[in-house]
Structure 1
Amino acid sequence: MSASAEFVSYVRELLAPLGDIRDGKFFGGHAMKHGGNQFAMVMGNTLYFRVDDSSRPAYEKKGSKPFSYSTKNGVVQVRKYYAAPAELLDDPAQLLVWARQAISAARAA
C-alpha cells in the first residue's frame, strides 16, 4: 500500500521537533530516519515505529499490530515495526515520547 502524501506531510510536521529527520520513499512506503537510522515508516495512512523487546509490550497493550504484508505463501509479519497507537496522532507530546523510544530502538539494532 502506497504512502499517502498528505499523511506523510502531517507526520513530518508532528516529528519536526525531533530535529534532523530525513525521509524518502521505499517499497511503496515512506521511511523516516534520524541519525541515519530508520525509526519509522508510513504505509498508506498508518505510521509504524521501530520497536525492540522492551518497547513492544506497550504497543501490544494498546492493541497495535506489527507491520504485515501478503505474499503468495501467506502473510508476513515484520515484528520490528508496530503501528503507532492512533491516539498518539492527537497528542503530539506523547507521539514524540514514542518516537524517541523508536529512535533508541533503531539505534540499538
Structure 2
Amino acid sequence: MAANAEFVSYIKEQLAPLGFLSSGRFFGGHAISYHGQQFAWVIGSTLYLRVNDSSRPQFEAAGSHPFTYTTKKGEITVRKFYTAPEFLLDDPEQLLSWSRLAIEAAAS
C-alpha cells in the first residue's frame, strides 16, 4: 500500500522541529530519515517508528505492533519497525519524544 501523501505531509510537518530530515519512497511507502538514518516509515496512513531492544517494550506496552506483510510463504514480521501509538498523532510533543527514541534506535 502506498503512503498517503497528506498523512506524510502532516507527519513531516510535526517532525520538523527535530532538524535535518530527509525523506523519500521506500518499499511502497515513505521513509523519513534523520542525518541519513531511517527512523520512520509511512505505509498508507500508518506511521511506523524504528525500535531496538531497549525501546521495543515501551512500544509494546502502548499497544504497538511490528510491521508485517504476507508472502506466498506466509506472514513476515519486521521487528525493527513498530506502529506509532495512536495518541502520538494528537500530541506533537510526545510524537517528537518517541521519534527521538526511534532516532536513537536507528543509530544503534
Instruction: Work out whether the TM-score is over 0.5.
Output: yes
Is 1:29 matched up with 2:13? no
The percentage of aligned residue pairs carrying the same residue is 61
Q: By how many angstroms is 1:95 displaced?
A: 0.5
Structure 1 residues without counterparts, runs of 5 or longer = none
Q: TM-score, structure 1 length as denominator?
A: 0.97
Indicate the SS of the match to 1:17: helix
Matches within 5 A, 1:45-56: 45-56=45-56
Is 1:10 matched up with 2:1? no
AA aligned opposite 2:106:
A
Aligned positions, number? 108
AA aligned opposite 2:98:
W
For the residues of structure 1 that align with 2:39 and 2:79, how far apart are their CA atoms? 13
- Over residues 38-85 of structure 1, what are the superposed CA-to-partner deviations in whole Å (9 max), with x where a residue is unaligned? 001000100000000010001111111101111011110100100000
Indicate the SS of the match to 2:75: strand
RMSD: 0.5
Indicate the SS of the match to 1:2: coil
For the residues of structure 2 that align with 1:93 and 1:26, how far apart are their CA atoms? 26
- Over residues 10-31 of structure 1, what are the superposed CA-to-partner deviations in whole Å (9 max), with x where a residue is unaligned? 0001100001110001111000
